[in-house]
Amino acid sequence: MIEDAFPRKLHPYWPKLQEKTRSWLLEKRLMPAEKVDKYADGLCYTDLMAGYYLGAPDDVLAAICDYSAWFFVWDDRHDRDVIHARAANWRRLAVQLHAATEAPELHRNHQDPVVAGFAESVGRLYGSLSRTWNARFARHFHVVIDAYDQEFGNRMTGTVPTVDEYIALRRNTFAHWIWLDLLEPTAQYELPAWVRKNEAYHRAALACQDFAAWYNDLCSLPKELAGDELHNLGISLIKHDGLSLGEAIAEVRRRVEGTIEDFLAAEAEVEQLAVATENIGPHGEELAKAIRSCVGNMRNWFSSVYWFHHESGRYAVDSWDDRATPPYITDDETTEQTDQVGECA
């Protein structure tokens, strides 16, 4: 379905992005040099974003790619803090990220590379559009941090969320609204609320992100079962709906295919919205162009996510020495942070 209906595309800046993000990971000390040299390109983080945000100015796409790479590093830190029961470290990091979301300029030199890297990449994104857009992005990212905190608590207590609870939580830990927000600096146009809240636009947006989250669940299930993870649509189906592993995989696949059908139906309706918008005042054509850019990149999300999961070393579990410990991370259970909870720089 994906290979036939969603042709793969890549932003022409992609070859340079690999080098830039690799250098950025080193500069911000987010991965050790030997890990960057050995694994960074094979993880395909830049491929994912370069296949999604087509049409973005080069500097905007570079900031998005660095932020995306940071997000994966943060996700790995969260996982290791759970594995080694570093509750105090995680709570401290969550507080610092909340603070950096509001004032990234105060955290660029933070002693924790995860906080400093976040502040630097988000600070660049905040320069793309208006303060209103910045505030919306910040509001959405606060929710992501809180969702990660909820997931931390679930894993520490061995709590598997129900299917409905998981779907709601996943939409936040996957950062649905963040990736959708970034469609606008890509288009260089801040969409009015009436467009973002339009029923068809919202359905198309949710379908592309649910596809990404649930396809990720499908591909990462072996990795997450090996690592005693509790947050996966398949795991919730097994735990709460009594499905076997095979039945759960089939059900996740069915839901993934459903998001494709939902998107195609909504996409056609969004095009009708764009046509109608062309006749709204002197800026109608410009707004219609932005709407088409945003929904066009929602479409690109399907092929980009699909190929990412089949090419990234992040999901090559069978090739790892330890199926529960990814080789691209540094797993040090003695890691401790000494900075204070309220420290800003």
- What span, in angstroms and rounded, lies between the C-alpha atoms of 312 and 46? 10
Q: Alpha-carbon dihedral of residues 35, 36, 37, 40, nearest 10 degrees?
A: 110
Residue from 6, 22, 72, 152 carrying the catalytic annotation: 72
Residue from 6, 22, 71, 263 carrying the catalytic annotation: 71
For residues 203-241, b (16+ Cβ closer than 10 Å) or e, as one string? bbbbbbbbbbbbbbbbbbbebbbebebbbbbbbbbbbee
Using only C-alpha atoms, the chain has a radius of gyration, in whole angstroms, of: 20
Residue from 77, 92, 299, 314 carrying the catalytic annotation: 314
- Helical segments of the chain, H only: 2-5, 14-27, 33-43, 45-50, 58-83, 87-102, 113-125, 131-157, 163-173, 176-181, 183-187, 193-196, 199-226, 233-241, 245-277, 284-311
Q: Is 314 a catalytic residue?
A: yes
- What span, in angstroms and rounded, lies between the C-alpha atoms of 199 and 217? 26
Residue from 118, 137, 152, 174 carrying the catalytic annotation: 174
What sign does the CA torsion over 329, 330, 334, 339 have?
negative
Q: Is 308 a catalytic residue?
A: no
Q: Please tell me whether residue 29 adopts helix, strand or coil conformation.
A: coil
Q: Is 71 a catalytic residue?
A: yes
State the Cα angle at 142 between 207 and 171, rounded to 5°.
20
- What span, in angstroms and rounded, lies between the C-alpha atoms of 266 and 224? 32
* Residues recognised as catalytic: 71-72, 174, 314
